[in-house]
Structure 1
């Protein structure tokens, strides 16, 4: 159980960090290119979210194969674990995107 929880937390923070780091560096690049940084940061945050999830779960299609093969064989527990890893990575990426929205728009949801 400790290994599972550790992997969930790691997936969360890896996805969160990919979104946050990529977006902040995209903002720096926008400043260097004389573009409005907040506009670019909001765009990058949305575009990088799926890649943050992929990076967090391992960057390959293997987790999807694990889900499929275990469900076909009737083993639910390993499939649920893989799904939970993806869910935690998604939550991390979404929280990173939400934080960027708060930073760029001053905390409003519009």
Structure 2
């Protein structure tokens, strides 16, 4: 059980970190290239979300193939765990995007 919770935390954190780090670095790059950092960060945070999930769970097709093989053999527990890992990665990526949006909205002038 502790290993399962540990993996949930790791997948969440990796997806969150990919979105946050990628967006922040794109903001720095935007400043260096004389572009709007707010617009660039918002755009990157939305576009990188799916890739953050992919990076978190370790590949594009392997987790799906694992779910399919376990379900075909009648083993629901491993398949459900893998689905929960993907959900944790999605939540992490979404929270990273929400944080970037909150940071960027706070910097706008009315």
How many pairs does the alignment contain?
107
Give unmatched runs, 5+ long, in structure 2: none
Please give the alpha-carbon distance, in whole angstroms, between the structure 2 residues aligned to 1:60 and 1:38.
30
CA-to-partner distance for each residue in 1:20-49, whole Å, 9 max, x for gaps?
000000000000110010000000000000
State the partner residue of 1:101: 101
Q: Which 4+ residue blocks in structure 1 deviate beyond 4 angstroms?
A: none
TM-score normalised by length of structure 2: 0.94
Give unmatched runs, 5+ long, in structure 1: none
CA-to-partner distance for each residue in 1:81-107, whole Å, 9 max, x for gaps?
000000000000000000000000129
Question: Aligned to 1:34, what secondary structure does the other structure show?
Answer: coil
TM-superposed CA distance for 1:59, in Å, is: 2.4
Please give the alpha-carbon distance, in whole angstroms, between the structure 2 residues aligned to 1:58 and 1:6.
16
Aligned CA-pair RMSD: 1.1
TM-superposed CA distance for 1:73, in Å, is: 1.2
TM-score normalised by length of structure 1: 0.94
State the partner residue of 2:78: 78
